[in-house]
Amino acid sequence: MTSVAEPFDAVDVIMAKRDGHVLSDAQIDWVIDAYTRGVVAEEQMSALLMAIFIRGLNRDELNRWTDAMIASGERLSFSDLPRPTADKHSTGGVGDKITLPLSPLVASFGVAVPQLSGRGLGHTGGTLDKLESIPGWRAALSLDEMRAQLANVGAVVCQAGSGLAPADRKLYALRDVTGTVASIPLIASSIMSKKIAEGTSALVLDVKCGSGAFMTDVDEARELASVMVGIGTDHGVRTVALITDMSTPLGLTAGNALEVREALEVLAGGGPPDVVDLTLGLAREMLDAAASVVQAQGVPGAGISAGSPEAYRMAGKLKEADLGAALADGRAMDTWRRMIRAQGGDPDASLPWAKCTQEVICPADGYLTSLDALKVGVAAWRLGAGRAVRTDSVQAGAGVVLHAKPGEMVRKGHPLMTLHTDTPEAFPRALEALEGAWTIGETRPETGNVIVEKVA
């Protein structure tokens, strides 16, 4: 049997990028497809990733690279839904439970939120891990189940199917072991290929910066946000980004069931101010983006055409939505309960608690001036809330509860935080991770907003 000749040689593509040349559309299409098929070897793609890490990709190359990753699998479409769609993606952090109150809040205003989420790895938590602490809730849905839930409930949070951007799954694992993770073009194309393949019309990006985020520097976060917004816009997806602070844990909890409880506080009209502020800020951007899409494209599934009076009326209602009222009057909570029940969960069931707790005692009087998100995240991970490798299991009740945030007065001898775990032998390593995690001063520090800036 005669093998089909490949149109390119991997070595030539590697050398072209190594020497600073612009890759052609055909070269990019081929190398992604050939790597997915197993024709391009792991060591060859490793070399190409390193060449891209050093030389970068220009905007045209990056768009084509993203296109090729999307084309490696299936692409969903929700254009026939009777609702406009909007999605959110966070680059990850400590205590980031925002998807939980955000999705039902936005859905309560008639926008479909197809939130395909992942699991935690290392110090960053995973949305699916958090929701799986709810008895009966399941992450795996068929496409038909997902579409029905979006039409009937408006919000779905579930795991992505294996058919979406399979090239990215291979590349993601390879980047992890070749020192090429911290490349803005590779990060941006990885995130955006999956989000575009998910089929949403509007996308809001939550790009974290600070010690607990992948991007610790605000300038790097701004560059990543700008590149991702460009990719989304070039692919016809209404895309905006918020750069948000992750120097301190978000809210007062880091851990799966602990964060679900805090999300429920927000849905009940309470909750920590930073969690509420970010939830409302992202929801506002999602509704505004959805409104722009409605005006420009209509809602075909509802028989609303672009530019029609019905489209402008719907867009106007989205832009004028009173988000705070939807939390206060229970509308968002009602949508949450329907969302959880639709995926087999019991919204009235008790959430699990860890078997063991240990308090971390404040060593002095004063103001808490800093609290390092990364150190708290590592402590929660070591307590069992996270995983070191993707096959590890997690403890639903493990994590850290904070009793103060920067700017607040603390007292010597009072608890500064409480550690939760089912495995008390984990306490020493968690405490080790927290060494130097906080500072206490005599004067109240200035604290900034959780939302740093917008990139559009």
Read off the pLDDT of residues 287-300 as tens digits, 9 standing for 90 and up.
Answer: 999 999 999 999 99
Q: What is the enclosing helix (H) or strand (E) of 79?
A: none
Mean pLDDT of 32-45: 96
Q: Look over the chain and give the mean of its residue pLDDT values, rounded to a whole number.
A: 95
Shared domain for 57 and 137, answered yes or no, is no
* Cβ atoms 450, 206 nearer than 8 A: no
pLDDT band at 120 (very low <50, low <70, confident <90, very high): confident
Over 90: is that where the pLDDT of 406 sits? Answer: yes
326-332: Cβ within 8 A, 24+ apart: 326/105, 326/108, 326/109, 327/101, 327/105, 327/266, 327/267, 327/268, 327/269, 327/276, 328/269, 330/268, 331/108, 332/101, 332/104, 332/105, 332/108, 332/267
How far CA 2 is from CA of 31, 157, 287, 289, in Å, comes to 21, 47, 55, 52
Shared domain for 338 and 364, answered yes or no, is no
Per-residue pLDDT at 450 = 97
Residues in Cβ contact with 1 at an 8 Å cutoff, skipping those fewer than 6 apart: none
Indicate the residue among 342, 372, 393 that finishes a domain.
342
Mean pLDDT of 214-236: 96
Per-residue pLDDT at 2 = 42
Shared domain for 138 and 113, answered yes or no, is yes
Q: Which residues pair with 254 in a beta bridge?
A: 400
Residue type at 42 in one-letter notation: E
Question: Per the structure, how many domains does the chain have?
Answer: 3
Shared domain for 221 and 291, answered yes or no, is yes
Per-residue pLDDT at 167 = 94
CATH number for the domain harbouring residue 398: 3.90.1170.30
Shared domain for 387 and 284, answered yes or no, is no
Residue 194 catalytic? Answer: yes
Q: Is residue 434 part of a domain?
A: yes
Indicate the residue among 314, 342, 370 that finishes a domain.
342
Q: Is residue 392 part of a domain?
A: yes
Q: Is residue 394 part of a domain?
A: yes
Active-site position among 17, 55, 88, 89: 89
Shared domain for 132 and 65, answered yes or no, is no
Q: Is residue 47 part of a domain?
A: yes
DSSP character string of 331-358:
HHHHHHHHHHHHTT--TTSPPP--SEEE
Residue 60 catalytic? Answer: no
Q: Is residue 382 part of a domain?
A: yes
Indicate the residue among 342, 365, 400 that finishes a domain.
342
Over 80: is that where the pLDDT of 1 sits? Answer: no
The predicted model scores a pTM of: 0.95
Question: How long is the chain?
Answer: 456
Residue 392 catalytic? Answer: no
Active-site position among 175, 208, 337, 338: 175
Residue 403 catalytic? Answer: no
Neighbours of 290 (CB within 10 A): 31
Shared domain for 294 and 247, answered yes or no, is yes
Give the three-state DSSP class for 456. coil
Shared domain for 265 and 325, answered yes or no, is yes
Q: Is residue 154 part of a domain?
A: yes
pLDDT band at 3 (very low <50, low <70, confident <90, very high): low
Tell me the residue range of the domain where 137 lies: 87-163+170-342
Per-residue pLDDT at 340 = 98
CATH number for the domain harbouring residue 55: 1.20.970.10
Over 60: is that where the pLDDT of 256 sits? Answer: yes
Per-residue pLDDT at 388 = 75
pLDDT band at 5 (very low <50, low <70, confident <90, very high): confident
Active-site position among 29, 87, 129, 168: 168
Shared domain for 154 and 60, answered yes or no, is no
Distance CA 24, CA 226 (A): 23
* Cβ atoms 438, 408 nearer than 8 A: no
Shared domain for 432 and 288, answered yes or no, is no
Token pair for 279? 């939830």
CATH number for the domain harbouring residue 282: 3.40.1030.10
Active-site position among 190, 193, 211, 247: 190
* Cβ atoms 78, 112 nearer than 8 A: yes
Shared domain for 191 and 271, answered yes or no, is yes
Shared domain for 26 and 94, answered yes or no, is no
* Cβ atoms 158, 139 nearer than 8 A: yes
Residue 89 catalytic? Answer: yes
The pLDDT tens digits of the residues spanning 332-370 come to 999 999 999 999 999 999 999 999 999 999 999 999 999
Name the region of 241 (left: φ>0; alpha: ψ -120 to 50; beta: rest): beta
* Residue 357, burial from CB neighbour count under 10 angstroms (0-12, 13-18, 19+): middle
Token pair for 404? 């103060």
Distance CA 297, CA 304 (A): 9
Q: Is residue 81 part of a domain?
A: no
Q: Is residue 4 part of a domain?
A: no
Distance CA 255, CA 251 (A): 11
Percent share of the chain, pLDDT over 90: 90
